[in-house]
Structure 1
Amino acid sequence: MARLLPEVGEAIPARGTGRHDEESLARLFELTARLLERVAAERTVVVALEDLHWADASTRHLLAYLFRTLRTGRLVVLATYRSDDIHRRHPLRPLLAELDRLRTVRRIELGRFNRDEVSRQIAGILATEPNPAQVDDIFERSDGNAFFVEELAVCATEGCGTGLTDSLRDLLLVRVEGLPESTQRVARVAAEGGSTVEYRLLAAVTRLAEDDLIEALRVAVNANILIPAPDGDGYRFRHSLVREAVADDLLPGERSRLNRRYAEALEADPTLVPADERVMRLASYWYRAHDAAKALPAVLDASVTARRRHAYSEQLRLLERAMELWDTAPEDVRAALRPVDYTEVYPPCGCVPATTPLRYLDLMAEAAVAGRLGGERERALKITKRALHLLEDDGDPLRAAWFWVQRSHLVQGLARGDGWAELATAEDLVRGLPPSEVHAEVLSTVANWSHVHVPGPEAFSAAERAVDYARMVGAREIEMNARLTLAGLVVESGSVETGLDEMFDVLRRTLDDGIPSVASRAYVNLPSSLESIGRSREAVEVLQEGLTHARRHGLSDKEAWMWGNLAESLYSLGHWDRAAEAASQAERVGQSAKPRGFHAVNRAALSLARGELTEAARQLASARRYFGSHDQAPQHELPLADITIGIAAGEGRLLDARAELERVLDSGFPPGTQRYAWPLLLTAATMEADSLGLPVAEQDRTKILDRIREAARPLATNAPVWLAHERWLRAELLRAESADTPDHWCEAITAVEPLGRPFDLARVRHRLAEALLSVPGGAEQPERDRATELLRLAHAAAEHLGARPLADAVTLLAQRARLALTAVVPVLDRSDPLRSLGLTGRERDVLRLVTLGRTNRQIAEELFISPKTASVHVSNILAKLGVSGRGEAAAVAHRLGLFPAEALHAPVTQ
């Protein structure tokens, strides 16, 4: 600074004198303040001071002087410090307290990173999207500290054996090693006690005199190593990584000795810890004490507690510990264990005598189910493989069949195959055996597999047989599962209401009977069926209940499917931003391949509708990777083919799109897959219509259109959404032949309008406007007016949704027809509001009936007009009122008082 103000150099006390001249120091402070005022007189100046907690006394005095005396100039002093390093006697504390009283000083607390911020930081460090499980682990261990996040992310890529880099461990331990020996001893004991250690428990383990323990704790708290627990009489490490580093620094014998002390203290006085933590912590202490005789029963007790809390990942970890301890535990300890005390899924074939000892295979069965329910499928698959190897010479076909069923579930969940080979093996094992729950479960699983992979009469028969067999052996949970499968097949066969009633009944009964696994499956399948028939709002309501249920019972993979279903229904309803959020949740929560593939399909469909073809292609490739090539389920393959055709058409690759279409048509649509077939055929027909006139499209056009018509002919139309797709498809096929008319598109609008799907409605409105403007001989003014209204509605919807291709197409059509997309808002004449809104007499009558909640068909019957004409009037009314739906039109009429109460119920004059 002396280069800018020479007086500063003159004011610095000479070195080597052994003293600081107070007068010179004051002169130095004053000159520094004047210098800063001078340079900040005409422009903003920022003085940045990093790591203020390391500042010496002179720097602190200078800051205090500046903050008190600076009055002019555009100066910002930005000083940072780490609050973790500011212990109670730190010399910076008095300065901070003084500065807090100044009005010119503002303290900004920078909180630790949340999970999303940690995820973004890791992605930046690794230059790739991190695995959600890795993000969870680093977030938990780092406590959101950005420096720790970076160190742990680097450590993960370098494969550190202990989970900490040497530099990070040294940094974490250096502050602990600077404490008095008694405090270090307490810190080592606390590191093995858990995330929070109660004071009485700590006293029992350290065996220190009370005064000595309190003094050691005070030093640790003042040094910001330990902090008092916010809720309770205990202590925890300020940073979990410090605890981890201290624990890692313990000697092997020292660690097991400390854990034995914890376990013995807790057994002697169970009140030392909260009751709901006692079992889990005792299991942890005995396990780390390496006492197999004590640890095995404790770990098994903890696994039962974890199962009751639906903490399946924790249950799996505990069961794996039990299997690890099994051979080292004394024989008399193992003989005293009973399946009835520790297992739920076993025995699978009825009750066993209470004297039967627990077997190692029983633990493996429990662990396999815990892994599947908790999303730890890879670990569960290894367990089933080992179990089946042990069963090769066991001679227990029921137990082997049960494990083959579990293996089928796991193989499908990991996209390693379709699971049929495993189910076929299970069927062979139970064939000819007496009735049992295992046999019933095999039949139920086969029925569900057939429903997903080969829907049709055989799947229907398999589901009926599974229901009957489960009832015969009294397997309530298996019966509910089979009934749910059968109900889904009933919906797909066309008996929609019957199937839905059965699904609702299964959901209600499983909730009442406390069967969460089947109830959660119902919360997945029921909304999916509702969405398939166009009842998206009902689906959303059920899914919101289901998400709460899944989270309560720890069913992460079922929750992931629910998020995916929610994304699909929100997309249909036009809530695209919320749909994207739900799809992301599906990816975050789901730990197996298929829910993540479903997420990618939803994101691909959304990106395609928004014109983001590169992103759509990326998500499509991701979906194919998740689903794998060994499981050709129609519910996955047909949406993938639909998106493939859409992307190819959007990129102008007509021949590639046709090739994909012909591949699908050659395979055919299995029975009950109309929910996927109709959109796919519609995408193909739209592509053909859009390419009309292109030389490359003319070859084989007739053949392609004929094949689309032939494929559509047997598809069901007994749900409103399927009927709407049929009308829409017919109009698109005629457009592809230059034979469509406004009447065809009016029929499509009449069918689409009640569905509450704004994107679909905007698309057919665009096509009707195009047809009106293409009337031979030129459109008359009424047609042009109506086309203008339709295009305004379509454009508003496309802009709201972010559907760029549709918005651009609507804009281009309006420009070619010289139509204005911006409507002139009429001035409302209160003496005759209906006329000032531009409504004709007939439109007034229609609006009155719309306000009463009448459908187009009911309006047509009351006014003695056709439903198609009623639909046209409704579309005109929506355009003139500037609203997007019938409910909004009714609200506008009510708000403006267009119809007095007596007029609403008056007869219409013809």
Structure 2
Amino acid sequence: MLGGVENTSVSPVFVGRAGELTTLTGALGRATAGEPQSLLIGGEAGVGKTRLVEEFLDEACGRGAVVAVGGCVEIGADGLPYAPFSTALRSLRRRLPEEFASAAAGQEGELARLLPELGDAGSQEAYHETGTARLFELTGRLLERLATDRTVVLVLEDLHWADASTRHLLAYLFRTLRRGRLAVIATYRADDIHRRHPLRPFLAELDRLRTVRRIELSRFTRTEVHRQLTGIMAAEPDPALVDEIFSRSDGNAFFVEELVVCHTSGCASGTISASLRDLLLVRVEELSEDAQKVARIVAEGGSTVEYDLLADVARLAEDDLIEALRSAVGANILIAAPDGNGYRFRHSLVREAVSDDLLPGERSRLNRRYAEALEADPSLVRDDERATRLASYWYHAHDFTKALPVVLRASVEARKRHAYAEQLRLLERAMELWDDVPADVRAGLRPIDYAGAYPPCGCDPATTPLRYLDLLAEAAVAARLCGERERALKIVKMALRLLEGENATDHDPVRAAWFWIERSRLVSGLARGDGWAEIATAQELVRGLPPSAVHAQVLATAAGWGMLHAPGLETFAAAERAVEYAQLVQAEEMELNARLTLGALMVDSGDVERGLAEMAGVSERTVQLGLISEAARSRTNLSSSLEGVGRSRQAVEVAREGIELTQCWGLLDHEGWILSNLTESQISLGHWDEALDGAQRLQRIAYSAKPRGSAALRLAQLAEARGELATATELLELARAAYGKHDPQMQYTLPMTRVAVSIAAAEGRLGDVRTLLAECAEAGFPPGSQRYAWPLLLAAVTAEADTRGLPAAAEGRAEALSRIRSIAKSLPAPEAVWIAHSLSVSAELTRAEGHDDPDRWAEAARAFGPLERPYDLARARHRWADALLASGGRREEAAALLCEAHLVAVHLGARPLRESLELLAARARLSLTPGEPASPPDEDGFGLTPREQDVLGLVAAGRTNRQIAEELFISPKTASVHVSNILAKLGVAGRGEAAAMAHRLHLLQEAS
């Protein structure tokens, strides 16, 4: 049907079909292994069968396969006999002339029935009972011979036009091919296979063959259409355009291309190309007059029109209506609805073509008849569709006075069902209609009926007329909730221009403050700023005004911002005022929000039990009131606060409850925030594989910038701890990009810096370690930052201790250690987990200064013991064992510590820690198998000879081979041999790594 339409815009990017392409390439692999493959690819016209085959053939050619393609030809009711086989065999003969001649030798006359170039088929017997079977057998044998030493891919296109002989030959090959490296693939248009189509029984027959696999191509999803448009336009398409084209094309790839042509060529909105419309209308125009009339009526009725409603609008005698419907269904124009209660077009674009062909007056008249029929008898359609359908009918009938109230009512229905994208579209239509509706009609509309986002500003929503600003408020919230944050921000800016611009039509500071708070939320969510400027503007607008819900919201928002950016007395006071104002105006939802912030601030200030109790109370109350979004936020904050005081197991329980809640209600964005907290606590508990799965899921579901950043950060933390430094670096950059530069919150910046410090230390970039810590010290560590600051400080001081004794690290060491000590003194350690971290930092400081004290590490390890922090405990035990061995005694105790730490490192996959433990055990000749006796200590360390120990000392001091030779009175060549032996015995790649290991494992006598 669409064969004559030229594709004028094709995406250079292959979209979707990953599963189908995998099936095809898998079949190619089996064919290459000598197992012939048979596949059918079906799909409606324009769905992308040819593009899929092209991508597969590119892959096949890349693997060295010989490809031959033949297409069936549409001529009348049947195609040319064997046309696709003739074309394909001709291609094979051209590609493989010698091989083809050899395979066809002696049978050229018979095979000439398929390929006339082989000889004179007329010289052979024209009629014979076994002639066809013979020809089929020879064709199969020819293909098998050609595919003996090479992979051959035979593609037959447009099987729906195939003649009977082609179908029979193909069926024969599908049944009988058993040898050769051969794949036979046929395509067909599924939508052309009507009940009496000859391909229908053929397909049914092939379905019974186990050797044949059928691939049915579905239409593209919205995401795939988005990718297709991006490829076609070579730019990111506007979301509204994606929605429009996806809706109108139904995901048909060809129709998407045609609609893009319309868009780029400036066709009026709502139209399709003339060539496509003409093709779509051909079969419609062949129907009877009554059937065409019914088709036009159904085209204006919606995706499906109920029979009773259609009968009311068509005004035909029942027998005439049924006969018209039978004709349209028989022509495959209309189909019965799945529930049997109505009719719809087989393809929505055909419906659109029919609708476009209506005269302007005809369209509005039909829509008026639909609206009048539905108003007279609302039972004609389902209850949940009535408002939307009626709104559409009145709108397209151009009766805006009747349309506006119904459109608004439909938007309310959409909001009740949490269908915010649909609500937004309806509200935008209401905004479009607003000025065309008489003022007296608008005066009868009330905010209480239509505006759920109406900010209570002292006006009575039951008596105050609905305003345009109310629509903007509704639309902004709907856009934000459906993920259209850019659109929401534009709407908010429009509202603020109306309220505060030079041509402001209204002055309402409370309403303006509400919009500024919305703007703050959107700016922050889009990572375009921290939102404080907008909050400050809102505070100024409500300053001195009587208490109101908006005033309480402004205070609560300011307190919430301060909790994340500037916790302290001022933020604490703001939270208390927000609670007080919310109670004054009896806004319990706002009060709970402020109490949640207050509870978190109490925890950060050290009032842990009361703070957690306050947050738990809020969480319980939000569930009682059915405030799902607030309940999700309460679990987000509560799980974070529990993690902040080291109660990771409780944090996991709360987070899982929150995720269950968000999944039940479809709150994906909230789920992302809670999932971020869950993975953080799982990392603390040593559940790294679970954390990895959770972070990867967060990557998939997060559509806000900051949850995406959290996913990358968690993955970076795991990658760094497992020694995957390149991956960790890449993920860290993704996290930085997602968080943005405009909203530097300590909960993001400090953990990112900790990972960066660990990566730099592992790569020997001690200068970068010191720079990163100095930058954080300059920014300061506000109250509540200890949960992020202590791990950062530990990573920095560990880097200093690990490089103790290296000449390159000596310069600046005193300043760096002084800075670390100063920061440590300023950081509070109110909970056991941070006390344990502070003890580790203190022990590392001692180690960095050359005095490795086993008692300090024993204290740190005992502090971590009951805290369910296996990785932190293993690291402390590693250092404790190292200190014990350095002191020259208690080898059995050290061996036990190393075994315990090694088990944890292996379980977690913490490769750097595991390798350090194994190196230490090897140097001390201790077994890492529990219960196995230790060997006597190796005095010369890793089997190094006395001369090699001398050389290692000079390597650690930074000497070159020539300098070593001069100092030890040996030749440079001998020095080089010694260095090579040392590197091999230590199992390291270079001199720097050898020097670092020598100091870390006490292989040298170091000066303090």
Tell me which interval the TM-score lies in, with the shorter structure as reference length: 0.7 to 0.9
Amino acid aligned to 1:416: R
Kindly indicate whether the alpha-carbon contact (under 8 Å) linking 1:112 and 1:143 is maintained by their aligned counterparts in 2. Answer: no
Amino acid aligned to 2:432: E
Which of 328, 347, 368 is the equivalent residue of 2:476? 368
The answer to whether residue 805 in structure 2 is matched with residue 693 in structure 1 is: yes
2:384 — aligned with what?
Answer: 276
Paired with 1:79 and 1:435, the residues of 2 have a C-alpha distance of 73
Which of 541, 545, 559 is the equivalent residue of 1:433? 545
Change (3 A) 1:822 1:349: same
Which of 194, 211, 216 is the equivalent residue of 1:105? 211
SS at match of 1:713: helix
CA deviations on 1:858-889 (whole Å, 9 max, x unpaired) are xxxxxxxxxxxxxxxxxxxxxxxxxxxxxxxx
Amino acid aligned to 1:432: G
Paired with 2:128 and 2:881, the residues of 1 have a C-alpha distance of 87
Instruction: Give the Å deviation of 1:448.
Output: 1.7
Instruction: Give the Å deviation of 1:565.
Output: 2.4
The answer to whether residue 695 in structure 2 is matched with residue 597 in structure 1 is: no
Once the two structures are superposed, the pairs formed by residues 475-624 of structure 1 within 5 Å of their partners are 475-551=587-663, 555-624=667-736
1:775 — aligned with what?
Answer: 886
CA deviations on 1:598-623 (whole Å, 9 max, x unpaired) are 33333333333344444433443343
Amino acid aligned to 2:134: R
Residue range with higher mean Cα deviation, 428-437 or 321-330: 428-437
The answer to whether residue 889 in structure 2 is matched with residue 790 in structure 1 is: no
The answer to whether residue 161 in structure 2 is matched with residue 30 in structure 1 is: no
Residue range with higher mean Cα deviation, 340-349 or 497-506: 340-349
CA deviations on 1:511-549 (whole Å, 9 max, x unpaired) are 212333422321321121122223333333333333344
The answer to whether residue 164 in structure 2 is matched with residue 57 in structure 1 is: yes
Kindly indicate whether the alpha-carbon contact (under 8 Å) linking 1:176 and 1:225 is maintained by their aligned counterparts in 2. Answer: no
Amino acid aligned to 1:310: H
Residue range with higher mean Cα deviation, 636-645 or 663-672: 636-645
User: Highest Rg: 1 or 2?
Assistant: 2
Which of 524, 527, 530 is the equivalent residue of 1:415? 527
Kindly indicate whether the alpha-carbon contact (under 8 Å) linking 2:836 and 2:864 is maintained by their aligned counterparts in 1. Answer: yes
The answer to whether residue 871 in structure 2 is matched with residue 728 in structure 1 is: no
The answer to whether residue 383 in structure 2 is matched with residue 298 in structure 1 is: no
Which of 776, 780, 792 is the equivalent residue of 1:668? 780
Kindly indicate whether the alpha-carbon contact (under 8 Å) linking 2:159 and 2:186 is maintained by their aligned counterparts in 1. Answer: yes
Which of 316, 336, 352 is the equivalent residue of 2:424? 316
CA deviations on 1:530-588 (whole Å, 9 max, x unpaired) are 22223333333333333344455564533332232233233334444543454454455
Which of 440, 443, 448 is the equivalent residue of 1:335? 443
Once the two structures are superposed, the pairs formed by residues 839-850 of structure 1 within 5 Å of their partners are none
Change (3 A) 1:297 1:584: farther
Instruction: Give the Å deviation of 1:322.
Output: 1.4
Amino acid aligned to 1:390: L
Change (3 A) 1:64 1:266: same
Instruction: Give the Å deviation of 1:301.
Output: 0.6
Change (3 A) 1:463 1:101: closer
1:96 — aligned with what?
Answer: 203
1:388 — aligned with what?
Answer: 496
Change (3 A) 1:650 1:240: farther
Paired with 1:578 and 1:158, the residues of 2 have a C-alpha distance of 48
Amino acid aligned to 2:839: R
SS at match of 1:525: helix
Change (3 A) 1:785 1:326: same
The answer to whether residue 757 in structure 2 is matched with residue 645 in structure 1 is: yes
CA deviations on 1:670-697 (whole Å, 9 max, x unpaired) are 1122122122212212222233333332
Once the two structures are superposed, the pairs formed by residues 37-436 of structure 1 within 5 Å of their partners are 48-67=155-174, 77-102=184-209, 105-110=211-216, 112=218, 118=224, 147=253, 151=257, 174=279, 177-182=282-287, 189-190=297-298, 192-206=300-314, 228-231=336-339, 233-236=341-344, 256-350=364-458, 352=460, 354-392=462-500, 394-436=506-548
CA deviations on 1:252-274 (whole Å, 9 max, x unpaired) are 66655554444333323322322
CA deviations on 1:425-450 (whole Å, 9 max, x unpaired) are 22222222222222222222222222
The answer to whether residue 569 in structure 2 is matched with residue 470 in structure 1 is: no
Kindly indicate whether the alpha-carbon contact (under 8 Å) linking 1:375 and 1:556 is maintained by their aligned counterparts in 2. Answer: no
Instruction: Give the Å deviation of 1:592.
Output: 3.9
SS at match of 1:421: helix
Change (3 A) 1:74 1:446: closer
Once the two structures are superposed, the pairs formed by residues 723-872 of structure 1 within 5 Å of their partners are 723-772=835-884, 774-777=885-888, 782-783=892-893, 785-799=895-909, 803-817=910-924
Paired with 1:128 and 1:763, the residues of 2 have a C-alpha distance of 51
Residue range with higher mean Cα deviation, 677-686 or 811-820: 811-820
Instruction: Give the Å deviation of 1:476.
Output: 1.4
CA deviations on 1:60-117 (whole Å, 9 max, x unpaired) are 1213344556677787654444434432222111222233344x53444446489699
Paired with 1:266 and 1:289, the residues of 2 have a C-alpha distance of 13
Amino acid aligned to 2:374: L
Paired with 2:686 and 2:331, the residues of 1 have a C-alpha distance of 55
Paired with 2:164 and 2:822, the residues of 1 have a C-alpha distance of 88
Change (3 A) 1:70 1:765: same
Identity %: 58
Change (3 A) 1:73 1:510: closer
Kindly indicate whether the alpha-carbon contact (under 8 Å) linking 1:256 and 1:288 is maintained by their aligned counterparts in 2. Answer: yes
Kindly indicate whether the alpha-carbon contact (under 8 Å) linking 1:792 and 1:823 is maintained by their aligned counterparts in 2. Answer: no
Change (3 A) 1:816 1:228: farther
Amino acid aligned to 2:899: E
Residue range with higher mean Cα deviation, 299-308 or 630-639: 630-639
Instruction: Give the Å deviation of 1:402.
Output: 2.4
Instruction: Give the Å deviation of 1:357.
Output: 1.4
Paired with 1:739 and 1:155, the residues of 2 have a C-alpha distance of 75
Residue range with higher mean Cα deviation, 134-143 or 612-621: 134-143
Instruction: Give the Å deviation of 1:191.
Output: 5.1
Residue range with higher mean Cα deviation, 300-309 or 257-266: 257-266
Kindly indicate whether the alpha-carbon contact (under 8 Å) linking 2:559 and 2:594 is maintained by their aligned counterparts in 1. Answer: yes
Change (3 A) 1:429 1:144: closer
Amino acid aligned to 1:93: R
Structure 1 gap ranges (5+): 827-910
Instruction: Give the Å deviation of 1:174.
Output: 3.9
Instruction: Give the Å deviation of 1:482.
Output: 1.0
Amino acid aligned to 2:457: C
Change (3 A) 1:96 1:488: same
Amino acid aligned to 1:105: T
Change (3 A) 1:122 1:569: farther
The answer to whether residue 120 in structure 2 is matched with residue 9 in structure 1 is: no
Instruction: Give the Å deviation of 1:306.
Output: 2.1
1:631 — aligned with what?
Answer: 743
CA deviations on 1:158-181 (whole Å, 9 max, x unpaired) are 7987899989x9679746634554
